[in-house]
Chains A and B, each alone.
Chain A
Amino acid sequence: MMNTVTLRNLKNSLITVSMVCATVAVLVPLGLIFFHIMKMGASSINLDFFIHIPKPTGETGGGMANGMVGSALLIALASTIGIPVGVFGALYLVEFGGSRASNAIRFAADVLAGVPSIITGMVAYTLLVVPMKGFSALAGAVALALIMVPIVLRTTEEQLKMVPGSLREASLALGVPLWRTCLKVTLRSATKGVMTGILLSIARVAGETAPLLFTALGNQFWSHKLTEPIAAMPLQIFNFAIAPYEDWHRLAWAGALVLVTVMFALSLTARYLGRSKQQS
């Protein structure tokens, strides 16, 4: 009797210890990355970094202002394409889709989510860069939108599925047409969860570099024309990090710090939204 209890306690602590180890193994790399970037980048972050564009080779100083604005523009444009497609696609899946059509869409979304992002960039290159005869912000945004769509679609679908059928029925029984019920009852009830999915998809594409390499291309100067190459933070970090200049390396570290901080903030907001939803 005594023996089995001892054995059970032993097993119990063994499992507990291995779970703690696994947790640490997950947290340590995250902490290491964050603190290393902090150490290397924090010293280069100053006002100049946020308001200046990169200085020509050889001159010190300069910042990534054009990259930040460029990234913001790319993300905004990608969102205006990707979010409606994802959200309405999910509504279609949940509310109207016959089983065969919806399975096909779901499968397509899963495959799309698994496509390496450089391939997504090539798709945008073929679709937009080649016909338009030039790299452009638009092509970059389309590439990012292609990455956003499956993420938004699947998270939105999960959230919409959790809206109780009784609410839809209540609305329909009041003589509200199906499309209005979809928008005003089903989607409205799932707003917080849908927002979470959208934020996560933005956090994902904010750091994407590969799909921008031969679409948005990058730009050393200010540009806000959608038909011209545009700067983006991940691209700038990439270019600066592989350049042979010490000064540029510092800018790359600072850029990495800003980017990681933004993504961290987005993820936290998404989590906060997700949590407050569970409570209500």
Chain B
Amino acid sequence: MNPKVKIDKLNVHFGQTHAVKDVSIDVPENTVTAIIGPSGCGKSTMLRSLNRMHDLFPSARVTGKVLLDGGDIYDRKVDPVSIRRRVGMVFQKPNPFPAMSIYDNVVAGYKLNGRVKKSDADEIVETSLRRVALWDEVKDRLKNNSMELSGGQQQRLCIARTIAVQPEVILMDEPASALDPISTLKIEELIEELAEKYTIIIVTHNMQQAARVSDYTAFFYMGDLIEWGETKKLFTTPEKKQTEDYITGRFG
């Protein structure tokens, strides 16, 4: 089976810093791939190059290829906006639009891009909120401001907002690191469910989390991809000494 996302010899430079070095990974469709490694090892930088978020920083330079369904997203003819519609992103800190209601946040991807029919919007809001298991908690106060939700609810709202625009791939940058354990658990359950429909790539600091939610795991260290493979195998019989040291807690 062809991979949904094929990262091929990807390099990212920030000014003088070589943040991601010659990384190649295959991400199969409808799976969860976790990216682990110590702080500052280039995990987030790698993730953000998968939907061309680095385009906004003039100092960032990306070389190599990222193939989405076989097409290079860094091809000159490709519009980064069209890539971001197919590859959604959930950030570390919940970032709902503070001036918008819960309802408007879910359909923000449509509203910011123009108009959306009321009946369509109603349906999108309900399905998206149900999918992130937030519907029952907020269905009576959809018009309230999104900032009155708890951190965990806000993050699920952000995930609902992301899946509302029906992406194919969802990137998650430590989506639970700012949340309490119960909210974290809910997000993790959610990730497993979402994997039935979407291809998910998640950056996490938390190795237990990677072991719990992912099918594949990639271990990064200082911008290098040290090892990647099936999660079970990587956590039980890692090939490299460095990986073993990290997952057994000897450094990092």
What is the interface of chain A, defined by CB distance below 8 A to chain B?
A: 98, 164, 166-178, 180-181, 184-185, 188-189, 280
Chain B contacts for A174, CB-based, 8 A:
84-85, 88, 108-109, 112-113, 161-162, 165
Chain B contacts for A178, CB-based, 8 A:
56
A184 contacts which of B85, B112, B158 (Cβ < 8 Å)?
B112
| Contact between chains at A175 and B91 (CB < 8 Å) | no
| Contact between chains at A167 and B109 (CB < 8 Å) | no
Binds A, one of B22-30, B92-100, B180-188: B92-100
Chain B contacts for A180, CB-based, 8 A:
112-113
| Contact between chains at A166 and B91 (CB < 8 Å) | yes
Q: Across the A-B interface, how many residue pairs have beta carbons closer than 8 Å?
A: 68
| Contact between chains at B56 and A172 (CB < 8 Å) | yes
- A184–B89 CA distance with the chains assembled, in angstroms: 19
Give the residues from 76 to 110 in chain B that come closer than 8 angstroms, CB to CB, to chain A.
Answer: 81-82, 84-86, 88-89, 91, 93, 95-99, 108-109
* Nearest-CB residue, chain B, relative to A176: B112
Which of A98, A169, A174, A180 gathers the greatest number of chain B CB atoms within 10 Å? A174
- A166–B53 CA distance with the chains assembled, in angstroms: 12
Chain A contacts for B162, CB-based, 8 A:
173-174
* In the complex, B153 has a CB within 8 A of chain A: no
| Contact between chains at B113 and A173 (CB < 8 Å) | no
- A98–B56 CA distance with the chains assembled, in angstroms: 11
Would you mind naming 29 contact pairs between A and B with Cβ atoms under 8 Å apart? A166-B91, A166-B93, A169-B53, A169-B89, A169-B95, A170-B91, A170-B108, A170-B158, A172-B53, A172-B56, A173-B51, A173-B53, A173-B88, A173-B89, A174-B85, A174-B88, A174-B162, A174-B165, A175-B85, A175-B165, A176-B81, A178-B56, A180-B112, A180-B113, A181-B112, A188-B99, A189-B97, A189-B99, A280-B98
- Shortest Cβ distance from residue B62 to the other chain A in the assembled complex, whole angstroms: 16
- A280–B85 CA distance with the chains assembled, in angstroms: 31
Extra contacts besides A173-B162, A175-B109 (16): CB < 8 Å: A164-B95, A167-B95, A168-B56, A169-B91, A170-B95, A170-B97, A173-B51, A174-B84, A174-B88, A175-B113, A176-B81, A176-B109, A177-B81, A181-B112, A184-B112, A185-B97
Q: A98-B58, A170-B158, A171-B108 are in contact. Are A176 and B113 (CB under 8 A)?
A: yes
Interface residues as binary, B148-178 with A (CB distance below 8 Å gives 1, 0 otherwise): 0000000000100110010000000000000
Chain A contacts for B109, CB-based, 8 A:
174-176
What is the interface of chain B, defined by CB distance below 8 A to chain A?
A: 51, 53, 56, 58, 81-82, 84-86, 88-89, 91, 93, 95-99, 108-109, 112-113, 158, 161-162, 165
- A247–B86 CA distance with the chains assembled, in angstroms: 74
* Nearest-CB residue, chain A, relative to B164: A174
Pick the 6 closest A-B CB pairs, nearest first.
A175-B85, A174-B109, A173-B89, A166-B95, A175-B84, A176-B112
Which of B85, B93, B95, B96 gathers the greatest number of chain A CB atoms within 10 Å? B95
Chain A contacts for B89, CB-based, 8 A:
169, 173
* Nearest-CB residue, chain B, relative to A184: B112
- A171–B91 CA distance with the chains assembled, in angstroms: 12
* Nearest-CB residue, chain A, relative to B83: A175
Which of A175, A177, A178, A184 gathers the greatest number of chain B CB atoms within 10 Å? A175
* Nearest-CB residue, chain A, relative to B92: A166
Chain B contacts for A169, CB-based, 8 A:
53, 89, 91, 95
- Shortest Cβ distance from residue A208 to the other chain B in the assembled complex, whole angstroms: 34
Chain B contacts for A171, CB-based, 8 A:
97, 108, 112
- Shortest Cβ distance from residue A70 to the other chain B in the assembled complex, whole angstroms: 38
- Shortest Cβ distance from residue A189 to the other chain B in the assembled complex, whole angstroms: 6
* Nearest-CB residue, chain A, relative to B96: A170
- Shortest Cβ distance from residue B73 to the other chain A in the assembled complex, whole angstroms: 13
* Nearest-CB residue, chain B, relative to A188: B99
Chain A contacts for B97, CB-based, 8 A:
167, 170-171, 185, 189
Which of B109, B161, B162 gathers the greatest number of chain A CB atoms within 10 Å? B109
A175 contacts which of B81, B98, B99, B158 (Cβ < 8 Å)?
B81
Chain A contacts for B53, CB-based, 8 A:
169, 172-173
* Nearest-CB residue, chain A, relative to B147: A280
A185 contacts which of B56, B112, B165 (Cβ < 8 Å)?
B112
- A243–B217 CA distance with the chains assembled, in angstroms: 86
